[in-house]
């Protein structure tokens, strides 16, 4: 799917809205919208009231076959760097300039965060986005604080920093430009070849060992990718992006995630091999997570797109999650447990070593140096 999808941009925050509800579904294909991942829109769990559709006899529940447009609103923010102390994460700070993601990945663990702003983790998550237009200015202010201590900042930890709307807004590029000026290290996770638009800034950062990029490659099957990640770059384009980054001297690794039992986990070695052939220097993987509303969304998607194997896939997921569809315990969220999870970990370790995907190195945190503030900022002190 190209980045040319229609979009409405306007100020203000999204309002708590009644969820979109599907009706008249008589086959496994009902509810599937071209270019969108979610087939359901469950209500947000914080709403005081819930609504149920009632047919008034005038076809009021008829399905709207038109593709829903993407809407973007501006979200005011006082700070931009988010801190965390999770033992499962390899970073302690991150930036997410966008809330919601137009890629529409059905498995996205960030979907439940949309409930915090009164929207559905389903279709709303991929069609009703918010952004923080002052992200770069806020970042510069926080980096100049006397108490700030440098550690790598992670981009792409919640929603993709290079989702289609980035082409119009350029918030990720603005953030990278600030980090480049401050010689601040940054890590990026994306599944979009759109990252190549910022090749110039990334090359400048890489020349000082200040950037590491991870391309998420979930499958090499274009049909599965189109169904599962409808607006993300194709698998081939992601591998091309790894190749282009490597050729430019930018450390690029592959993230085989999420691995879904009985759906794409058999591709693990092939994904790593393809990435190694494209020039990747390191690799990682993660097991599927289905927190909160993501579980019923994934179940419904699976039943509609792959009804012949839906039951088997869900049973295999439960086998690595202690009999449940999700396990949020630290240490097990990204890896699972049990025989199948252990086997996946062993397969990954063996393939990673055999392919030489162990050449990642720590970023340089010693170069951090805030540049002199612009003249207008100095005058504002008087």
What is the model's pLDDT at position 376?
66
d(CA 283, CA 276): 9
Contact 201, 167 (CB under 8 A): no
Q: What pLDDT is recorded for position 15?
A: 42
Q: What pLDDT, on the 0 to 100 scale, is given for residue 119?
A: 94
Tokens 């086998």 found at: 319
Given CA atoms 220, 222, 228, 233 in this order, what sign does their dihedral have?
positive
Do you find a cis peptide bond into 258, omega within 30 degrees of 0?
Answer: yes
Convert the pLDDT of each residue in 34-44 to its tens digit: 677 776 677 66
CA distances from 278 to 51, 193, 214 (A): 50, 14, 13
Question: How large is the C-alpha radius of gyration of the chain?
Answer: 21
Q: Residue 7: what pLDDT?
A: 54
pLDDT of residue 155: 98
What is the tens place of the pLDDT at every residue in 22-34? 333 334 554 676 6
List CB contacts of 352: < 8 A, sequence separation 6 or more.
Answer: 272, 283, 358
DSSP letter string, 131-146 = E-TTHHHHHHHHHTST
Q: What is the pLDDT of residue 379?
A: 47
- pLDDT reported for residue 58: 45
Beta bridge partners of 71: 8, 128
| 3 contacts 66 by C-beta, under 8 angstroms | no
Q: Where are the beta strands (DSSP E) in the chain?
A: 7-10, 70-74, 82-83, 93-95, 98-99, 128-131, 153-155, 186-190, 211-216, 252-259, 282-287
> Which of these, 106, 230, 108, lies nearest to 164 by C-alpha position?
230
Longest Cα–Cα distance of the chain, Å, equals: 71
Question: Domains in the chain, start-ordered, CATH in brackets?
Answer: 69-355 (3.80.30.30)
β-pairing verdict for 186-190 and 153-155: parallel
CB distance 241 to 215 below 8 Å: yes
Q: Going by C-beta distance under 8 Å and a sequence separation of 6 or more, which residues neighbour residue 91?
A: 84, 151, 152, 153, 154, 157, 187
Please count the other Cβ atoms lying within 10 Å of the Cβ belonging to residue 28: 15
CB 121 within 8 A of CB 115: yes
Tokens of 74: 């501006």
In the chain, which residues have pLDDT < 50?
Answer: 1-6, 13-27, 30, 54-63, 65, 379, 381-382
pTM over 0.95: no
């Amino acid at each position: 799917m190209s980045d040319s999808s229609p979009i409405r941009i306007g100020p203000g925050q999204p309002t708590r809205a009644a969820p979109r509800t599907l009706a008249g579904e008589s086959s496994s294909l009902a509810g599937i919208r071209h270019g969108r991942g979610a087939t359901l829109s469950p209500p947000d769990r914080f709403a005081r009231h819930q609504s149920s559709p009632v047919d008034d006899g005038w076809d009021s529940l008829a399905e709207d076959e038109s593709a829903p447009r993407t809407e973007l609103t501006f979200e005011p923010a006082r700070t931009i760097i988010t801190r965390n102390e999770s033992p499962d994460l390899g970073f302690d700070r991150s930036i997410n300039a966008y809330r919601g993601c137009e890629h529409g990945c059905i498995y996205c663990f960030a979907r439940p965060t949309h409930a915090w702003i009164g929207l559905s983790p389903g279709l709303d998550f991929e069609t009703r986005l918010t952004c923080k237009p002052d992200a770069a200015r806020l970042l510069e202010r926080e980096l100049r604080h006397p108490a700030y201590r440098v550690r790598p900042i992670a981009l792409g930890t919640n929603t993709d920093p290079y989702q289609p709307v980035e082409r119009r807004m350029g918030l990720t590029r603005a953030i990278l430009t600030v980090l480049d000026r401050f010689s601040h290290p940054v890590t990026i996770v994306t599944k979009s070849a759109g990252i190549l638009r910022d090749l110039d800034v990334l090359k400048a950062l890489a020349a000082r060992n200040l950037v590491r990029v991870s391309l998420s490659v979930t499958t090499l099957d274009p049909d599965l990718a189109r169904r599962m990640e409808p607006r993300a770059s194709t698998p081939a384009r992601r591998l091309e992006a790894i190749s282009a980054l490597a050729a430019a001297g930018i450390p690029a690794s592959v993230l085989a995630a999420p691995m879904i039992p009985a759906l794409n986990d058999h591709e693990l070695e092939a994904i790593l091999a393809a990435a190694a052939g494209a020039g990747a220097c390191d690799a990682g993987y993660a097991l599927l997570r289905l927190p909160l509303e993501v579980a019923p969304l994934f179940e419904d998607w699976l039943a509609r797109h792959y009804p012949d194997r839906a039951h088997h896939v869900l049973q295999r997921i439960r086998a690595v999650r202690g009999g449940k569809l999700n396990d949020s315990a630290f240490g097990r969220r990204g890896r699972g447990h049990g025989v199948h999870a252990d086997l996946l970990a062993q397969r990954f370790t063996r393939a990673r070593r055999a392919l030489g995907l162990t050449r990642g190195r720590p970023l340089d945190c010693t170069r951090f140096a805030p540049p002199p503030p612009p003249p207008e900022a100095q005058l504002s002190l008087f």
